Amino acid sequence: MKIVVIQGPNLNMLGVREQNIYGPMKLEDIHAQMKAFAEQNGLEIEFFQSNLEGEIVDRVQECMGDADGIIINPAAYTHTSIAIRDAISAVQIPTIEVHLSNIYQREEFRHTSLTAPVCAGQIAGMGPFGYHLAMVGMTQILNEVQMMREQQAKAQEQ
């Protein structure tokens, strides 16, 4: 099973920008931890980061037929991008939204996520550990999907 991790704008600056909000860990370190989890659980994982909305939309669309799950941190686009929301909805792949900070404790404009309603779930405010939680959650979702497909296949054989 393959999970694609999509990181939005400014996440390439983790470890440098606003450490009081996002912490000192760099994106590469978060990805290394996710990769270790994936290897321990027999999952394939791929990482993508862009500061450009259209590139994020393209990457979500490219997941169709190529990935079983998406973990996405749309960053600032969470609150503004109908295009990313529509792409997530269109591909119909289980998706978990992650935010390092608790967006509900921040400025009011960050309290609304346009993307969360089309995701299986949202994890916010857990720092880098939120990505680990997303991996655990996605593993559970994918195992359930696989079990359901196996049951449907058995039912069709009968």
Q: Are 81 and 39 in contact (CB under 8 A)?
A: no
CA distance 122 to 139: 15
Q: Report, as residue numbers or ranges, the catalytic residues.
A: 22, 99
**Residue that the structure tokens 């309603």 belong to:** 117
CA distance 139 to 105: 28
3-state secondary structure of 29: helix
Q: How many CA atoms lie within 13 A of 132 on its CB side?
A: 11
CA distance 102 to 87: 24
